[in-house]
Structure 1
Amino acid sequence: MEGQSICNKAAIFFMISFRQLCLITVSLPLCALLICFITAYIFQQDDIHETHCRVYNVIPSISAITGISPQRYLWRICIAFHIGPRVVIASVYRSYYRQLLSLSKHATDAKAIRLLDVCFWLNVVEIAALCGVTYISNRENYPIHEKIFILFMFGSLSYMLATIKVFKLLRPNMTETEKTSYLFKKCLFILSICCTVGLLIFFLKHRLLCHEMAFSWFSLCEYCIASANMAFHVTVVLDFPTENLLVKRDLPLVNVNADNEIVHLKEN
């Protein structure tokens, strides 16, 4: 047994808890956002509160606190490290859902297969749009930044809705943990929709009517949307509580005899 254990360990080059990977991934933008907000609010108030209307404002937007220097460098570095694991997590979810689909009564349902693919690609769109709004700031190119932000909102909300539908479709009989994950996903999606409506209303009030505090309410809705988005992605720890991400080399089937000699087993 000891020899067999050594052989198995030798084939694994890297292993990390999937739960831990997901928590680290979401902590990068969260911590960066907090640091950018605190430092910008303390040291650069004039820069982050500047708007075209010149009205009173107390809460800066995410674009404002991550678009000034030196905060933008921290934000861009953290997003760079955030993107890679996000793609991995999206791919794992796709494979996981495909496995569930193959075992369900919808295994040959074309609509279910399409919904699964749509869910994955909406996640990719959200990730790509996040890159866009990060590396093309509103100070550098506002028209492009605005359009990419709209794309991010569309990708994010659509992905949430598609995920909820896939989750319900492939888990007709949920465990308590799965019910908790499903409930969190639904609540966070509803919160995101409500905040998006508020964001649009206050944006129009700010841009068209220049109401005082309208931009602050817009920014508050933006922070709520960002928080709900990150929390939605954190629910992966409920879906994969004990799984590990491995980098390993495939070995032939072997066993170890009483003399600790490796014996190759024939595959049937």
Structure 2
Amino acid sequence: MSSSVRISIRHFLWFAYSLPCFALFSCVGLSLLKDFEKSTRTHCKVFNFLPSISASIGDCEPQRYIWRLCFALDSIPRYVVAYLQLIRLLNRHHILLQELYPLVQITNSCIHFLELTFLLILTYISSNEIKWIHESSFVGFMICSLLHMLITVLIDYFWPRTINYRLSDQERMVRAKRLRWFVINITSFFISIYFYFRHNEFCEPNIYSMYCLFEYFVVLTNIAYHSVIMDEWDHQGGQIQIFY
């Protein structure tokens, strides 16, 4: 016999998007408190006041285990949310180009699934263990993340709808939030890249910390972008039934 438990969608989404925030703040905070010198050390040995995420979760304990445990707990909910969102989007009836629309949405969801998979790989394989896999996974994560956000925003704003369909105030708010978080995310990413290469080129004090700061912004704005789904689903209510 199997049993089941019902969880409200809102609580399910809160869990999915608050857990990675907890992982980030706790790991960085612990690194600053107990592993400051180790986590902020760079190859050119200049002073820095913030650790990178990779240094916090790869070189220090218990940060490594906190990060991995949080993403182990978070991975299945994030895949479930991505799948449920795809089903919801495929059931839209006010969309034109119905032959092409499912293909675009499925492709975009596959990119999102790849984003989540790359995130898991770089979580469990640190730069100290197999550096090229960690770095390749980070590149794959960023490419898929930005591409998924871009495609979603383009669909929100430019995909044709039936003439008699008008966007609700909530739909306008949701797509505006997505656009805002996408712009902040991609801006933070390019600023972080600037500081990363400047640090490697000139080895100035605190420049690597600026890279780390904008790296945090990239992670947090990525979470904020995906958590917009809470506003999108809020009016629907409902529950998720989990069997065990």
What TM-score do the two structures reach when normalised by structure 2?
0.90
How has the CA–CA distance of structure 1 residues 248 and 218 changed in structure 2, closer, same or farther, with 3 Å as cutoff? closer
Question: Once the two structures are superposed, what CA deviation does each residue of 1:213-239 show, in whole Å capped at 9, x if it has no partner?
Answer: 221111111011111001011101111
8 Å Cα contact 1:15-1:244 kept in structure 2: no
8 Å Cα contact 2:40-2:49 kept in structure 1: yes
Which region of structure 1 is more displaced relative to structure 2, 85-94 or 199-208?
199-208
**Structure 1 residue 236 and structure 2 residue 229: aligned?**
yes
**Given residue 29 of structure 1, which amino acid in structure 2 is its aligned partner?**
P
- Residue in structure 2 matched with residue 258 of structure 1 by the alignment: none
Match of 1:87 among 70, 79, 82: 79
Question: Once the two structures are superposed, what CA deviation does each residue of 1:219-262 show, in whole Å capped at 9, x if it has no partner?
Answer: 1110111110010111011111133243389xxxxxxxxxxxxx
Match of 1:32 among 4, 7, 23: 23
**Structure 1 residue 179 and structure 2 residue 172: aligned?**
yes
- Residue in structure 2 matched with residue 164 of structure 1 by the alignment: 153
Match of 1:49 among 36, 40, 44: 40
8 Å Cα contact 2:19-2:70 kept in structure 1: yes
- Residue in structure 1 matched with residue 103 of structure 2 by the alignment: 114
Match of 2:55 among 43, 58, 64: 64
8 Å Cα contact 1:115-1:166 kept in structure 2: no
Question: Once the two structures are superposed, what CA deviation does each residue of 1:4-28 show, in whole Å capped at 9, x if it has no partner?
Answer: xxxxxxxx94322212111111111
RMSD: 1.9
What TM-score do the two structures reach when normalised by structure 1?
0.82
**Given residue 16 of structure 1, which amino acid in structure 2 is its aligned partner?**
I
CA distance in 2, matches of 1:115, 1:209: 44
CA distance in 1, matches of 2:196, 2:82: 31
Question: Once the two structures are superposed, what CA deviation does each residue of 1:160-183 show, in whole Å capped at 9, x if it has no partner?
Answer: 111212333276632111111111
Unaligned runs of 5+ in 2: none
| C-alpha displacement of 1:60 | 0.9
Question: Once the two structures are superposed, what CA deviation does each residue of 1:94-114 show, in whole Å capped at 9, x if it has no partner?
Answer: 1011001x4422222x2x233
Q: Count the aligned residue pairs.
A: 235
How has the CA–CA distance of structure 1 residues 129 and 87 changed in structure 2, closer, same or farther, with 3 Å as cutoff? same
- Residue in structure 1 matched with residue 115 of structure 2 by the alignment: 126
**Given residue 15 of structure 2, which amino acid in structure 1 is its aligned partner?**
I
**Given residue 142 of structure 2, which amino acid in structure 1 is its aligned partner?**
M
**Given residue 68 of structure 2, which amino acid in structure 1 is its aligned partner?**
R
**Given residue 240 of structure 2, which amino acid in structure 1 is its aligned partner?**
L
**Given residue 48 of structure 2, which amino acid in structure 1 is its aligned partner?**
N
- Residue in structure 2 matched with residue 193 of structure 1 by the alignment: 186
- 3-state DSSP class of the match of 1:211? coil
Question: Once the two structures are superposed, what CA deviation does each residue of 1:11-58 show, in whole Å capped at 9, x if it has no partner?
Answer: x94322212111111111111211111111111111101111111111
Unaligned runs of 5+ in 1: 1-11, 250-268
**Given residue 211 of structure 1, which amino acid in structure 2 is its aligned partner?**
E
CA distance in 1, matches of 2:214, 2:241: 40
CA distance in 2, matches of 1:208, 1:30: 31
CA distance in 1, matches of 2:32, 2:188: 23
- Residue in structure 1 matched with residue 129 of structure 2 by the alignment: 140
**Structure 1 residue 203 and structure 2 residue 192: aligned?**
no
CA distance in 1, matches of 2:200, 2:20: 28
**Aligned residues with identical type, % of pairs:** 27
CA distance in 1, matches of 2:237, 2:136: 38
How has the CA–CA distance of structure 1 residues 167 and 20 changed in structure 2, closer, same or farther, with 3 Å as cutoff? farther
